Structure 1
Amino acid sequence: MEQTKIAKYKFLAEPFHCDYSNHLFMGHLGNHLLNAADFHSTERGFGMNYLMPRHKTWVLSRLVIEMDEMPSSYDDFYVETWVESAMRYFTSRNYAISAADGHMLGYGRSVWAMIDTQSRQPTDIFSIHDGAINNYIDKDYPCPIASPSRIKMGDEAVKVMELKTRYNDVDINGHINSVKYIEHVLDLFPVDWYKSHFLKRFEIAYVAEAHGGDVLTFYQEQTADGAYRIRITKRADDDATETEVARGKAVFIEK
């Protein structure tokens, strides 16, 4: 059956994936977006199940999610996803998140790279099925949120948390799971903060891979407009040398 450029998938906000306020955790929403991306690419012949036996995989490079509201527990919701553009080593994929009644909840944008799982280096996306991804690019479907920004850290950033990564942090690609970074960043803010603030926009850029056993250090600073920027570094447990692995930005609005 011929596949469309845009696909729409149904998800459920499971109650144990929701926070104290009865709304879906941002991390679990991120997982649903990544699942939608995998479903979409698999159905069109360039998904993980095709790539992995060929020593290739997709890795997330950038992600931004901007929400007007989050699904509540037991709510059905939908994620539409499509490829907006593709270059040799990177592709841009967008998302539209809607409620069961059709009203929009929010949007997402992401950038993915295809890498060789043995060399861990970028590999040619267009080598898969003679550039089949080009058949599914839609540049015109609306995604009315800003693209991921360049997150610049200043001199005011302070160390706020350090943790050693463990089993549950490591994903199918053998490195720290993309969504685990999001969860760890959002844990920098106490529960009481979320009682009075709504996470309007979250973005993260992945710079390097971290692996199980690495120690992650989180640095945070507040910007003039009230947003928070976060820098994450890694180091071996027995080494003081830090290497940057990701940068994030969280934009809250008062409830």
Structure 2
Amino acid sequence: MSELLPKVGKYKFMAEPFHCDFSKKLFMGHLGNAMLNAADFHSNDRGYGMLYLNTIQKTWVLSRLAIEMEEMPEAYDPFFVETWVESAMKFFTSRNFKVTGEGGHVYGYGRSVWAMIDTETRQPADILSIEDGKILNYVETELHDPIKACSRVKMSKDVELVRVIDTNYSDVDINGHINSVKYIEHVLDLFDVDFYKQYRLKRFEIAYVAESHQGDKLCFYREQVGDNEYNIRINKRSSNEQNEVEVVRSSVKFVKD
């Protein structure tokens, strides 16, 4: 058996200026993208990432993601994403993130849940069958992630439809469905620049319920559930039918800037 790598991976990124908003702070979507890249680097290096999985018709799909930030990196700031597997079961694995700056300054944390699917059937695959359960060698139980785990976002039956958008080429990712980060961007676009001049995004949470694809229309329903706290449901409408199917639920919490 080859020597095991460290359980925790640490990857360096930079808040590129054109990945930042009007306040010169990194967009939440680009931070989410850095986290997903860190997860990919970490799993590939340890032998159960997409580079290997794609050779056996398998892939990882993100099921849930929660990000809670005290502040965001500013333009040109280097930052690091640390990531580790907290638990692994047959059909789901939990992965955590810590975002730091140079000198160890902590910006915030993330939590995520992933599933493995068969790329041909699109059905769940057994994570523990991959390389004789190799992922279990990398479960880290001693590190503490202080933020609340992903929760189930509840919404009323009658909520306001606030936007309907088309999906196009640039929405589609390597797995052939609408990109996880694109949903984050679309949710945050429900609030305008003037709102972000007054409020800072404190916590973002998203659960992926079903896949959508290029050509689907995405319908956004929003409900205010507290002070500067909103729940969002995204349904898809296929091009040839009017029935809606839920694909995403999200929760966003803002604080006064």
Residues 94 and 110 in structure 1, CA contact (< 8 A), matched pair in contact too: yes
Structure 1 gap ranges (5+): none
Structure 2 gap ranges (5+): none
| Counterpart AA for 1:107 | Y
2:164 matches 1:157: no
Equivalents in 2 of 1:215, 1:107: separation in Å?
Answer: 32
| Counterpart AA for 1:145 | I
1:156: how far off?
A: 4.7
1:69 is aligned to 71
2:183 is aligned to 181
Query: Which piece of structure 1 moves more, 223-232 or 35-44?
Result: 223-232
Q: How does 1:45-84 map to 2 (within 5 A)?
A: 45-84=47-86
2:104 is aligned to 102
| Counterpart AA for 2:122 | R
1:103: how far off?
A: 1.0
1:27 is aligned to 29
- Structure 1 stretches of 4+ with a deviation exceeding 4 A read none
2:213 is aligned to 211
1:3 is aligned to 5
1:239: how far off?
A: 1.4
Equivalents in 2 of 1:164, 1:186: separation in Å?
Answer: 16
2:196 matches 1:194: yes
1:203: how far off?
A: 0.2
Secondary structure of 1:223's match?
strand
2:227 matches 1:228: no
Could you list the per-position Cα deviations for residues 117-170 of structure 1 after superposition, in whole angstroms to 9, with x for gaps in the alignment?
000000000111100000000112010000011100014520000011000000
Equivalents in 1 of 2:39, 2:51: separation in Å?
Answer: 13
Equivalents in 2 of 1:122, 1:139: separation in Å?
Answer: 25
TM-score of the aligned structures, taking structure 1 as reference length? 0.98
Percent same amino acid at aligned positions? 62
The alignment's C-alpha RMSD in Å is 0.8
Aligned length: 255
2:174 is aligned to 172
Could you list the per-position Cα deviations for residues 3-53 of structure 1 after superposition, in whole angstroms to 9, with x for gaps in the alignment?
000011110010010001001000000000000000000000001110012
2:145 is aligned to 143
Equivalents in 1 of 2:133, 2:157: separation in Å?
Answer: 44
Could you list the per-position Cα deviations for residues 145-199 of structure 1 after superposition, in whole angstroms to 9, with x for gaps in the alignment?
0001110001452000001100000000000000000000000000000001000
